[in-house]
Structure 1
Amino acid sequence: MTAPSAHHKTLSLFEFWPDSVFYTPIVLYWIMMGLRHGDLSISTAANPRIETGGLCGESKSSILDMAGPTARQAIAPYRIIRNGPDAVEAVLNAMEDMGEAFPVVLKPDIGCNGTGVKLISSLEMLRTVLPLFPAGIELMVQQLITYPMEAGIFYIRHPNEDTGRITSLTYKEAPILVGDGRSTLKELIMRDPRMRQVPQLYLPRIQGRETDILPTGETLSLVFAGNHCKGSIFRDGRQDITPALTDRINAIMKDIPDFHFGRIDLKMASPEALKRGEEFQIIEINGVGSEAIHIWDRRTTLAEAYRSQFYHYRQTFLIGAAKKKEGWKSSGILGMLRSWLKQRRLLASYPTND
């Protein structure tokens, strides 16, 4: 019996390995590079105006706030509010200020992997969701971008370069159930070739609705936040990187001071429009801690994934070293540890993402 081809695989070999297994070689590589440069935290200087360079614990809005007029035009409008007794009113005021009506996106200002991202469709839902977040934390209220597709673009520009480059492009797909008028939601999940292999990702999303039956042809999207570890499906789109897209992304990212390394998450009208550098809106910009997420395409081999990871982390050390020569400082090991502990504490306190 022949093994299925890589094209027909539903999961890659390593796609859902525990972090402690997959990332161990990367941590060892990080330490080796840090020792070589005489500073284990030198990569945090790659984006020196951002806390830890965006490795962990950074505020999402602190990155977006630095955008100049060119970049701001491409970023989905947002406001920051503090969670507390007046949070409902603060969200409504923020929406009015942006000229937005429900639905809007609500997410923690400090977070990763889509944790705590909520799609708020009504005032009643807002009143239900806000108490699920800790009091006193800052939340981002952001316009819901209705473009049908989502992508992640990895951008690198060395300090001595006038033009950066796109090293990764990944399309993100939300897993969708299609009703047949007979099967329950749980049966539809367990029948899907991919979902049934990682039911722990999808079954909690239908909690209390396991026996509901979708009418024939009706669809149910299981994941709103485009994160692989939360159940989104990633497709390698590097073949669609074009000079026009590179020029557009470069113009945007150069309008954010001293930003050299990270991933742009965006909603887009279509791959064709994206290739022309048109019809997209940025929803988030991530720094040193972000990945070139095409590695989570099911067809990627383990060797290819590690090659990509080592290449990208090597760039952060080279850029960080160059920025230190310019006079910028890295965050130091203690600074990295403090930010990581802060982020870890906050992530544990957030509700499940939509």
Structure 2
Amino acid sequence: MTLQSDHNGSSLSLFEFWPDKIFYTPIALYWFFMGLRYGDLTIPTAANPRIETGGLCGESKSSIFDLAGPIAQEVIAPYRVIQNDAQAFEKVLAALDSLEITYPFVLKPDIGCNGTGVKLITSQDMLQNVLPLFPTGVALMVQKLVPYPSEVGVFYIRHPRDEKGHITSLTYKESPILTGDGHSTLKDLILNDPRMGQIPQLYLPRIKGRENEVLPVGETLSLLFAGNHCKGSIFRNGKQDITPALEERICAIVQDIPDFHFGRIDLKVLSPESLREGKDFQIIEINGVGSEAIHIWDRRTTLAEAYLTQFYHYRQAFLIGAEKRKQGWKSSGILGTLRSWLKQRRLLASYPTND
């Protein structure tokens, strides 16, 4: 399912693509203030204490999945992790066989951020060509491609003192799609689109070598596979689809992951209707303290709403981290967090462009 684009008025919000140094400066100052208040700048990393840095940075995606009990494992898209070495091709084939999945499937770095390096592998030849693009020795996740049409980000918070958590945000992720008119080139379709034409630097590299190609009337071309805003996906606030049935189902799943209290669960869903009923979805990724309530990137969100949302969520991360500290858990500390961040930064720089 493709969500309908809203081209009434501006197709970008005021702040959607501000430089990070501008948008995140007030958030960084708020984080610093809270850190001083609690005597530990990294106390949110204790919010999910069984995960490296609580999922702030440098964490392994599979290590979070591996914590899951039977209730959660049932709805996690099947996966295996392999090392990218001389036998990587054979390892991937063996993983496909053990998972009983075929092409296409998803290949992505086990340590990543913002969809960097995520690849949709459609054939054996493509697999052979893609593996060398990743550095030797890096851990790669082989994951089943979930056939459901929509991707959704659900933000979950549960304080340690509470029996159940709650959903604070639900966001649909839409891939930008070009539709041919029989005479416009791909480049023209991007430049003339009310949204894409304002941020062509995100999309033109994705049609490199095909700029002058003309799509027949009605034929479509999806520009993105990975659902990440900074890569060009369009996010739509889906708060209207948060129901008691969905919240109960998400709580049951996430509480089957020991000591997970704060983060975003990314799902592939059959339809909004089934999502509201809490069924027909699979988890493709679980993100910890470093994740956002991504409905803030809906173009209808105001700057004030975005900052209030960010402050609310990071305050909860500090509160939960403080509660976990009282239980005996420790934060990652400045040096530990810095090491994880530097590791992640080095790895991200070495990955190929995502699909």
Match of 1:148 in 2: 149
Structure 1 runs of 4+ with >2 Å offset = 5-9
Give a deviation string over 1:124-176, Cα, whole Å, max 9, x none: 00000000000000000000001010000000000000110000000000000
Cα distance 1:6–1:260, how it changes in 2: closer, same or farther (>3 A)?
farther
Match of 1:212 in 2: 213
How many Å separate the matches in 2 of 1:223 and 1:103? 15
Q: Do the aligned residues in 2 keep the contact of 1:178 with 1:216 (CA within 8 Å)?
A: yes
Q: Percent identity?
A: 74
Give runs of aligned pairs for residues 297-308 of structure 1, distance below 5 A.
297-308=298-309
Say yes or no: does 1:97 pair with 2:82: no
How many Å separate the matches in 2 of 1:72 and 1:297? 31
Q: Do the aligned residues in 2 keep the contact of 1:266 with 1:280 (CA within 8 Å)?
A: yes
SS in 2 for 1:309: helix
Say yes or no: does 1:106 pair with 2:107: yes
Say yes or no: does 1:349 pair with 2:339: no
Superposition TM-score, scaled by structure 2 size: 0.98
Say yes or no: does 1:181 pair with 2:182: yes
Match of 2:43 in 1: 42
Give runs of aligned pairs for residues 159-178 of structure 1, distance below 5 A.
159-178=160-179
How many Å separate the matches in 2 of 1:129 and 1:258? 36
Say yes or no: does 1:340 pair with 2:348: no
How many Å separate the matches in 2 of 1:245 and 1:6? 30
Which amino acid is the alignment partner of residue 332 of structure 1? Answer: G
How many Å separate the matches in 1 of 2:164 and 2:57? 26
How many Å separate the matches in 1 of 2:309 and 2:176? 26
How many Å separate the matches in 1 of 2:75 and 2:193? 37
Match of 2:291 in 1: 290
Q: Do the aligned residues in 2 keep the contact of 1:169 with 1:240 (CA within 8 Å)?
A: yes
Q: Report how many residues are paired.
A: 350
Q: Do the aligned residues in 2 keep the contact of 1:260 with 1:319 (CA within 8 Å)?
A: yes
State the Cα distance separating 1:6 from its structure 2 match: 10
Give runs of aligned pairs for residues 248-327 of structure 1, distance below 5 A.
248-327=249-328
Q: Do the aligned residues in 2 keep the contact of 1:80 with 1:141 (CA within 8 Å)?
A: yes
Which amino acid is the alignment partner of residue 22 of structure 1? Answer: F
State the Cα distance separating 1:8 from its structure 2 match: 3.3
Say yes or no: does 1:196 pair with 2:197: yes
How many Å separate the matches in 2 of 1:22 and 1:86? 44
How many Å separate the matches in 1 of 2:9 and 2:252? 38
Match of 1:232 in 2: 233
Give RMSD over aligned pairs: 1.0
Give runs of aligned pairs for residues 14-29 of structure 1, distance below 5 A.
14-29=15-30
Which amino acid is the alignment partner of residue 116 of structure 2? Answer: T
Which amino acid is the alignment partner of residue 93 of structure 1? Answer: A
SS in 2 for 1:282: strand
State the Cα distance separating 1:240 from its structure 2 match: 1.1
Which amino acid is the alignment partner of residue 224 of structure 1? Answer: F
SS in 1 for 2:74: helix
How many Å separate the matches in 1 of 2:8 and 2:168? 22
Match of 2:3 in 1: none
State the Cα distance separating 1:9 from its structure 2 match: 2.6
How many Å separate the matches in 2 of 1:321 and 1:174? 38
Q: Do the aligned residues in 1 keep the contact of 2:7 with 2:194 (CA within 8 Å)?
A: no
Give a deviation string over 1:30-84, Cα, whole Å, max 9, x none: 0100000011111100000000000000000000000000000110000000001
How many Å separate the matches in 1 of 2:124 and 2:81? 18
How many Å separate the matches in 2 of 1:9 and 1:74? 38
How many Å separate the matches in 1 of 2:30 and 2:199? 29
**Unmatched segments (≥5 aa) in structure 2:** 1-5
Q: Do the aligned residues in 2 keep the contact of 1:6 with 1:299 (CA within 8 Å)?
A: no
State the Cα distance separating 1:7 from its structure 2 match: 6.1
Cα distance 1:212–1:7, how it changes in 2: closer, same or farther (>3 A)?
closer
